[in-house]
Chains A and B, each alone.
Chain A
Amino acid sequence: MTRGRSPRPPSALIPFAVFGVLLFSVPLIGLLVRAPWSRLGTVLSGPVVTQALRLSLISSVAAALIAAAIGVPMAWILARVEFPGRALVRGLVMLPMVLPPVVGGTALLYAFGRRGLVGEALYQATGIVLPFSLWGVVLANVFIATPFLVLTVEGALRNLDPRYESAAAVMGAGRWRVFRRVTLPMIGPSLAAGALLAWARALGEFGATITFAGSLQGRTQTMPLAVFVALEQDRDVAIALSLVLVAVSLAVLVALRNRWWGPS
């Protein structure tokens, strides 16, 4: 009675798959075992943790929203418009994905720092200083996370049957209405997946943030930075912070699993 059962993998795959699952689960178990369960409540309610959690959630959600706002138009143009230098522009947009984040942070510093290419003019005109501020954290997150969204959405736009948009135009819809009522809803699942990827990347962002925005507790110190600092001072706090990050990430993945991976 093998018919109708779920398929059996080739035996050679099984040890590798088991090893892989262990690789992902053992570190998590390590965290759980070493967690300071008895004083977890006090550690988590301390100002370091609450402030870092608040900053992380604000900056990562803001970064994901901004990534969508600038990423979708970029993806649309990269997918649909033929212009000279398109390959170069696409390379530039995707660069932060392969660049070490600390290099990205350094580049941001020389562009948007108080003495930077754009930053100096910005400071003189408005008095706004981006580095070492919450907006600096958001900017670093946007810089690192947006390529993930562009990549996802551009792929979705290329796979979209163009006849639907043509049909909408024949039915009297102008370009904006076609985009808003046909293109966007039809790539909706991919846009959501891309935004989730960008959010996850922003939540874990470390290198560009610490380089560009520093690690000022209560101002720019997000969860990953707080974990790093705590490792030097109070290991219990580092573990507690890590557990919170794991819990938040898992909660989001579980809450959204039906929408993006189909019910299972």
Chain B
Amino acid sequence: MVGAIVSGLSAQLHVERPSGFVLDIALEAEAGTTVALLGPNGAGKSTSLWALAGVIALAGGGISLDGRVLDDPASGVFVPPEDRRIGALFQDVLLFPHLDVAGNVAFALRARASSQRAADREAHEWLDRFELSDLAAMRPAELSGGQAQRVGLARALAAGPDLLLLDEPLSALDVGSRARVRRMLAEHLSGFAGPRILITHDPAEAALLADRVVVVEAGTVTQTGTPEQILRAPRTAYTADLAGLNLLTGAAGGGMIDVGAGPGLQVADRSVAGEVLVTIHPRAVSIHPSRPTGSARNTWPSTITSIETLGNLCRVQFEHPIPLTAEITVEAQRSLGLEPGTRVWVAIKATEIEVLPG
């Protein structure tokens, strides 16, 4: 059976899919904390979500929530999804297209409410709380991505669940609505007392929202820790790749981001404003012997501080004016004659800079 957390979620998920995919992970989340399941596509994140929700039955292991056993194949206990009291903000939100916004929230309330009228009344109270009253009569197809996420979260929290599942809540949104949805998540998650599981492939999303991260790759846990620990000491190729990302903080405005030193970074999205977290993949940073005249919007001169060779790839480090890592091939390094101390130009396309509201 599963671990001994009495207040919170304790799960050992062993799932075998007809495709042959096997998921085998341990997951614990104390009440009031957010644990991120971070992993690449196909790692088993969605399978984990549906197993926790009871849509997929476990083949082994078990799930207990606040001491209540939800699934335990060894003893034959299986609580169906409708009796688990789980709230979920699904990937793609999955608002029912045939119901309006109020109807979607009322749907989640109906199972607990005494009557449809009571559910409708309570749904409108939730819409008020989420400042969604103006949208009550709208269909999901008429909502923006950010609005849909807000309705989805209201629907997930309305029935007073014991566990909250958040599946990629920010990744499908444009930068402008990410800021709003993130603020909304922060605001409403603090009022939710139970454990929360965040499912994401985006390390920045995990860093922003989670207290602890469980890295899942190919159906197994490869690393756990705080977001900082994972990024500081990666243990797998996947987390190393994540850790190798250039993470910068800055202030955005008018399509520019001031990262405290050096030239402002020009980004593709002009709507973003305020404190932001910037991620740039090392592969997106190119190195030129002289001032580049191409399409890259961000160029500046810099001096190489160190070069680390990993197989056929080189990681080239810069400290000033902006601390940055570039990833290039060994061939490129040789033909350009790059060494620590070499003066070069660094170039990054505006479209390669990912911005998350900080």
> Chain A residues in contact with chain B, CB under 8 A?
161, 163-164, 166-174, 177, 181-182, 185-186, 188
Residues of A within 8 A of B84 (CB): 170
**B107 & A163 in contact (Cβ 8 Å cutoff):** no
B55 interface hit (Cβ, 8 Å): yes
Residues of A within 8 A of B159 (CB): 171-172
Residues of B within 8 A of A181 (CB): 107
Number of interface residues of B (CB under 8 A): 26
Q: Please list the 5 inter-chain residue pairs (A to B) with the smallest Cβ-Cβ separation, ordered nearest first.
A: A172-B111, A169-B81, A185-B98, A171-B108, A166-B55
Residue of A nearest to B55 (CB): A166
Residues of B within 8 A of A186 (CB): 96-98
Tell me the minimal C-beta distance from B355 to chain A in angstroms.
Answer: 29
Residues of B within 8 A of A188 (CB): 98
Residue of A nearest to B92 (CB): A163
Checking A164, A166, A174, A177 against B96 with a beta-carbon cut-off of 8 angstroms, the contacting residue is A164
Residues of B within 8 A of A177 (CB): 110-111
Residue of A nearest to B97 (CB): A186
Checking A161, A164, A170, A185 against B54 with a beta-carbon cut-off of 8 angstroms, the contacting residue is A170
* Given the contacts A170-B55, A173-B107, A173-B111, A163 and B82 also touching, CB distance less than 8 Å: no
Checking B82, B85, B94 against A173 with a beta-carbon cut-off of 8 angstroms, the contacting residue is B82
Checking A167, A173, A174, A185 against B90 with a beta-carbon cut-off of 8 angstroms, the contacting residue is A167
19 residue pairs bridging A and B, Cβ less than 8 Å apart: A161-B94, A163-B90, A163-B92, A164-B96, A167-B88, A168-B107, A169-B81, A170-B53, A170-B54, A170-B81, A170-B84, A172-B111, A172-B159, A173-B82, A177-B111, A181-B107, A186-B96, A186-B97, A188-B98
**B50 & A171 in contact (Cβ 8 Å cutoff):** no
Tell me the minimal C-beta distance from B42 to chain A in angstroms.
Answer: 17
Residues of B within 8 A of A174 (CB): 82
SS of A interface (majority): helix
CA distance A188 to B85 in the complex (A): 29
CA distance A169 to B85 in the complex (A): 10
**B112 & A163 in contact (Cβ 8 Å cutoff):** no
Tell me the minimal C-beta distance from A204 to chain B in angstroms.
Answer: 32
CA distance A182 to B54 in the complex (A): 18
Tell me the minimal C-beta distance from A98 to chain B in angstroms.
Answer: 33
CA distance A185 to B100 in the complex (A): 13
Checking B88, B92, B97, B110 against A170 with a beta-carbon cut-off of 8 angstroms, the contacting residue is B88
* Given the contacts A166-B50, A166-B53, A171 and B90 also touching, CB distance less than 8 Å: no
**A169 & B98 in contact (Cβ 8 Å cutoff):** no
B182 interface hit (Cβ, 8 Å): no
B148 interface hit (Cβ, 8 Å): no
Residue of A nearest to B93 (CB): A167
Checking B94, B108, B111, B155 against A163 with a beta-carbon cut-off of 8 angstroms, the contacting residue is B94
- What string of 1s and 0s marks CB contacts (under 8 Å) between B291-332 and chain A? 000000000000000000000000000000000000000000
Tell me the minimal C-beta distance from A170 to chain B in angstroms.
Answer: 5
Residues of B within 8 A of A171 (CB): 82, 107-108, 111, 155, 159
Tell me the minimal C-beta distance from A180 to chain B in angstroms.
Answer: 12
Residue of B nearest to A182 (CB): B96
Tell me the minimal C-beta distance from A9 to chain B in angstroms.
Answer: 32
CA distance A188 to B96 in the complex (A): 13
CA distance A52 to B50 in the complex (A): 56
CA distance A112 to B73 in the complex (A): 49
Checking B81, B83, B92 against A166 with a beta-carbon cut-off of 8 angstroms, the contacting residue is B81
**B94 & A167 in contact (Cβ 8 Å cutoff):** yes
**A172 & B82 in contact (Cβ 8 Å cutoff):** yes
Residues of B within 8 A of A164 (CB): 94, 96
Residues of A within 8 A of B55 (CB): 166, 169-170
CA distance A167 to B92 in the complex (A): 11
Tell me the minimal C-beta distance from B12 to chain A in angstroms.
Answer: 21
Residues of B within 8 A of A169 (CB): 53-55, 80-82
In the complex, which residues 96-131 of chain B have their Cβ closer than 8 Å to any Cβ of chain A?
A: 96-99, 107-108, 110-112
